[in-house]
Amino acid sequence: MFTKILIANRGEIACRVIATAHKMGIQTVAVYSEADKEARHVQLADEAVLIGPAASRESYLVADKIIAAAKATGAQAIHPGYGFLSENAEFSKRCEDEGIAFIGPRHFSIAAMGDKIESKKLAGAAGVNCIPGVNDAIETAEKAVEIAKGIGYPVMIKASAGGGGKGLRVAFNDKEAFEGFTSCRNEARNSFGDDRVFIEKFVEEPRHIEIQVLGDSHGNVVYLNERECSIQRRHQKVIEEAPSPFISEATRKAMGEQAVQLAKAVKYQSAGTVEFVVGKDQSFYFLEMNTRLQVEHPVTEAITGLDLVEMMIRVAAGEKLPIEQKDVQRNGWSIECRINAEDPFRNFLPSTGRLVRFQTPRQTMFQGNTTDLYGVRVDTGVQDGGEIPMFYDSMIAKLIVHGKDRNDAIAKMREALNGFVIRGISSNIPFQAALLAHPRFVSGDFNTGFIAEQYSQGFRAEDVPHDDHDFLAALAAFVRRKSRERAANLSGQLPGYDVKVGQDYAVVELGKAGHNRYVPVHVAEFSGKHGEAHITVNGKTYAIASNSRLNDIRIEGTCNGQPFTAQIERGTLKNPLALQVQHNGTRIEALVMSPRMAELHKLMPYKAPPDLSRFVLSPMPGLLVDVSVQPGQKVQAGERVAVIEAMKMENVLFAAQDGVVKKVVAAKGESLTVDQMIVEFE
């Protein structure tokens, strides 16, 4: 067994590998870019080596620097995590040539499966169901349109070296096929240095279901059940679960056996995933094989009780798999939510900056521990006060729960999301909460088009229906009442000017454009204890009890005897005196005041925000990679104005209306902040 390994990655996956290595008594070496010098994985590792500037192409993607770091520190093996060099056959071979063990598959397996065109041919030869399409690289957009017509729309245009949603488009007509081909080639060339593109039939109402496989160097391969990954937004997975609520035992067995056949055909060693697209009739077709550990591996660890990172390390050290197929378990139900640094209410634009507050829900399951299950686990590479840089992807944490069945897992996840505190940047937690409460998700009736269908107009605050909205008002009144109680108990108050606690309040829920909701609330003690009160809202009574302190951002307690977790924050952008209450994905901003003050508040005029239609503003922090207009130029509505890049994604800004450019304020190559002016129109 190795005594020291280097992790050629960053963020949560680097922390994940470190956890298992330490459990096994193996020392760890972290590598980091200049942007990551304060990162959590650097602090957790036994040693850390700086490998270059922030840009990944100058640090995490430079094989020479990583191998030099391994040699300098005496690491006998390298774990690549996922992304970066994890599926780079040349890097795997280079490690082998340098006498360093690669904790992943052999280079020939990566090469065979890394090329999506060649992998389909191999899969077909191994007896795996393959999707109709043309598996040869296509040279021109015109040829792409001709092929697409021959297969029949809709078709999927994919970069051969693609991954993570990059270099992938779905086309429903000739125009989309032509444009999609061009976009895929450009994205693939920029992201992977390989612009080969192919086309295949797009299966309608498809499910994305993948089989986890595990192989060793002695020819043994097992499959560890499946993961349901159909909840996707723009081909990026959002929620994953194991097992799938859709497939039958017969389909599970058939898919698993085909995955094993393919793994054996390429002499696969280590953990890997065979991805399938599954039609509504349970017909399934091979998509690709990911020759690495997957982001969503924890859900498989929960239901099987196996530490996949440990298995990878043991296989790389030459050990045999400790289990056979008959030993693979499937206990309970596990769900994972990817917590991303993005603003769901602003079309999921990336959100970077400092984590002013970062508190995870209480964990009872931990990385590398497959004994304490049926609880909550958080995999993250960040911490309170840490920085979310613009140079890497947007995922900041993975929230994993394990329940006795699917409904139990959903309930645990909803409560865990309530207790996940992220401040300073925006996160997709409200969106995750809305998905988990959606009737179609709860019933298991969804496919890969679910998010696009249900949120076709984007995601709005009203898309997060709370099952009891008045509870939020009751909670705001409860917190305000606790605050008044504390103020009333302060000594030395002047007679006649002392604070009165009172029982009648008005909760003013601040709405858009001055449309506020006024709710009368009555608060009364029901036990004589501080932290307990009966609150009446719209004829309903809420008996709330909580020992949380007033400065706690997370409030825990019971309401009518049922436990709850919510978040309360004092002071908002709209009003420094308001309370922000967040529960089950719904967030309200509310003022809690006396009934007389509420009457006067209604008379206050609404101050409209300034008209910014003459300006193009940066919707997010990022790098201005292109400005397509110049002063004096006439621009039509919908015309491209600028391109901003952040977190490996390009965002194109278009003109909202016709106009003439007065001046270009920001220069190409400039780092922008949110709402920074780029272009002004006359």
- Residues annotated as catalytic are 288
Edge-to-edge strand list for the sheet holding 659-664: 615-617, 677-681, 659-664, 634-635
Interatomic CA distance for residues 413 and 291, integer angstroms: 29
Q: Is 148 helix (H, G, I), strand (E, B) or coil?
A: helix
Interatomic CA distance for residues 221 and 214, integer angstroms: 6
DSSP conformation letters of 244-279: -SS--HHHHHHHHHHHHHHHHHTT--EEEEEEEEE-
Residue type at position 43? Q
DSSP conformation letters of 291-339: -S--TTHHHHHHHH---HHHHHHHHHTTPPPS--GGG----SEEEEEEE
**What is the chain's length?**
682
Q: In this structure, are residues 373 and 302 in contact, taking their beta carbons and an 8 Å threshold? A: yes
Residue 143 DSSP class: H
From the CB of residue 596, how many other CB atoms can be counted at a distance below 10 Å? Answer: 10
Integer angstrom CA distances of residue 598 from 507, 601, 604: 8, 5, 10
Interatomic CA distance for residues 374 and 372, integer angstroms: 7
Q: Is 522 helix (H, G, I), strand (E, B) or coil?
A: strand
